Amino acid sequence: MTEHKQTLGDPRDFETLVRIMARLRAPDGCPWDRKQNFATIKDYFIEEVHEALDAIADGNALKMQEEFGDVLFEIVFLCQLAKDEGLFEIHDSLEMVCTKLIRRHPHVFGDSQVADAQAVRDQWEQVKRKERDEDGEGFRSALAGIPHSLPPLLQALRVSERAVALGFEWPDNKGVMEQLHSEVRELEEAMAEDDLDAIEDELGDVLFTVVNVARRYKLRAHDALLRSTGKFRKRFAMMEEALNEQSIAPNMLNLEQWDEAWKAAKRREAETKTGNTSDKERP
Tens digits of residue pLDDT in 212-232? 999 999 999 999 999 999 999
DSSP state of 175: H
- The Cα–Cα gap between 175 and 103 comes to 38
- Using alpha carbons, list the distances in angstroms from residue 227 to 189, 231, 280: 30, 6, 27
> What is the structure's pLDDT at 105?
93
- The Cα–Cα gap between 46 and 50 comes to 6
Task: Taking the CA atoms of 204, 219, 70 and 96 in sequence, report the sign of the dihedral they define.
Answer: positive
> What is the structure's pLDDT at 4?
55
Residue 74 or residue 127, greater confidence: 74
> What is the structure's pLDDT at 277?
44
Asked whether residue 159 carries a pLDDT value surpassing 80, the answer given is yes
User: What's the farthest any 2 CA atoms get from each other in the chain?
Assistant: 73
> What is the structure's pLDDT at 138?
66
Tens digits of residue pLDDT in 45-94? 999 999 999 999 899 999 999 999 999 999 999 999 999 999 999 999 99
Residue 185 or residue 138, greater confidence: 185
- Using alpha carbons, list the distances in angstroms from residue 26 to 29, 90, 222: 5, 16, 42
Asked whether residue 5 carries a pLDDT value surpassing 90, the answer given is no
> What is the structure's pLDDT at 128?
80
What percent of the chain has pLDDT above 90? 74
Q: What is the mean pLDDT of the chain?
A: 90
> What is the structure's pLDDT at 157?
95
Residue 280 or residue 243, greater confidence: 243
> What is the structure's pLDDT at 283?
28
Asked whether residue 125 carries a pLDDT value surpassing 90, the answer given is no
DSSP state of 168: -
Q: Where would I find the H helices in the chain?
A: 2-8, 14-25, 31-35, 38-58, 61-84, 90-103, 106-109, 117-134, 152-165, 173-192, 196-216, 221-245, 255-274
Judged on CB neighbours under 10 Å (0-12, 13-18, 19+), 221 is buried
- The Cα–Cα gap between 223 and 210 comes to 12
- Using alpha carbons, list the distances in angstroms from residue 159 to 36, 211, 215: 34, 10, 11
Asked whether residue 279 carries a pLDDT value surpassing 60, the answer given is no
Tens digits of residue pLDDT in 251-272? 999 999 999 999 999 998 888 8
Mean of pLDDT values over 158-185: 94
pLDDT band at 118 (very low <50, low <70, confident <90, very high): confident
pLDDT band at 126 (very low <50, low <70, confident <90, very high): confident
> What is the structure's pLDDT at 165?
85
Write down the pTM of the prediction: 0.67
